[in-house]
Chains A and B, each alone.
Chain A
């Protein structure tokens, strides 16, 4: 058998053994029941997603700080859809070694404050100079952008207003969880090394 045919046969064999899990099959086969539950779940999920999205954007300065050795590509002016509203936004695109492009930009919230945005995209899908990509985000302007990961003197800190937590040792394994109280509310975040940007971190609020 030719090598190419052999690969084809093996690929077919390996994919053939992948089946949808039973739980997923049940959900799909009982669609009317599933849709009712999904509508309820989404209302809750959106509220959390909005809060997390803004927190991530607030942290994009430290992501920019962490980037080294990138090649500057171009400034692109494109549409940024924030909660379905269009913002003409200038992005600076940089190419990473792994073939992704990072677009950095910012937009103004209705109260006049500026929010940083970092979007990672595939270079293959967006040729510089042609068809600037349109980006979409959903966020909640009522959640103040105040928490962020900051790098100072080789150390990594979590900063939330007057609270500053040194995470350098905790993040040695690539992931940590923090919990603290501010103004009577307990906040719990999981922080991990970013799979997209070397040296940067992703974090999200854990729902209590």
Chain B
């Protein structure tokens, strides 16, 4: 890929891919590895993209695969981390703050789907394609994630009276 096109895509999609990585990993260090590996693959890519959406989906799919590779690696699986994911967005209201923690408490496999569905606004079918899962599996995870978020939010509301 030529430098100009690489820089354009990197500038445009870095935050998006970072969010995919953060939501697919438990640790900040892993998320950064995923982002770097994803953009190394973009840098090394020789074929061009059909359109902008093709590039975006390709990058997300690579990032999802990179997250999965981490979890399938015996080395990563058994490595202890001293640095946890510490970055937290500044939430404007207590309710948003509660929701943020509820989402962060979700296992990565749910969190990633929540991100792709609610933020990137991909359909169940598109997520299934990107994550190489069945549509049923995506629906199930989304449903479970929603249930977990709702019950966490209810608990949060109850705590605040």
A contact set with B: CB distance below 8 Å: 3, 7-8, 10-21, 24-25, 27-29, 31-32, 34-35, 38, 49, 52-53, 56-57, 117, 119-122, 124, 135-138, 175, 190-192, 194, 196, 202-204
Name, among A12, A24, A28, A29, the residue most crowded by chain B CB atoms within 10 Å (CB to CB): A28
A52 engages B75 (CB within 8 Å): yes
Q: List 11 A-B contacts (CB under 8 A).
A: A7-B99, A7-B146, A10-B96, A11-B118, A15-B118, A27-B36, A34-B40, A57-B74, A196-B77, A204-B78, A204-B80
A residues near B53, Cβ cutoff 8 Å: none
Among A8, A17, A53, A135, which residue has its beta carbon within 8 angstroms of that of B75?
A: A53
Residue B58 interfacial (CB < 8 Å): no
A28 engages B39 (CB within 8 Å): yes
Please, how many angstroms separate the alpha-carbon atoms of A11 and B61 in the complex? 21
Contacting A at CB under 8 A, from B70-107, are: 71-75, 77-80, 82, 87, 89-92, 95-96, 99-100, 103
Please, how many angstroms separate the alpha-carbon atoms of A11 and B95 in the complex? 11
B74 engages A190 (CB within 8 Å): no
A19 engages B18 (CB within 8 Å): yes
B22 engages A18 (CB within 8 Å): yes
Among A3, A11, A15, A24, which residue has its beta carbon within 8 angstroms of that of B35?
A: A24
A residues near B149, Cβ cutoff 8 Å: 7
Render B22-45 as a binary contact track against A, CB cut-off 8 A, 1 for contact.
Answer: 100000000010011001100100
A119 engages B74 (CB within 8 Å): yes
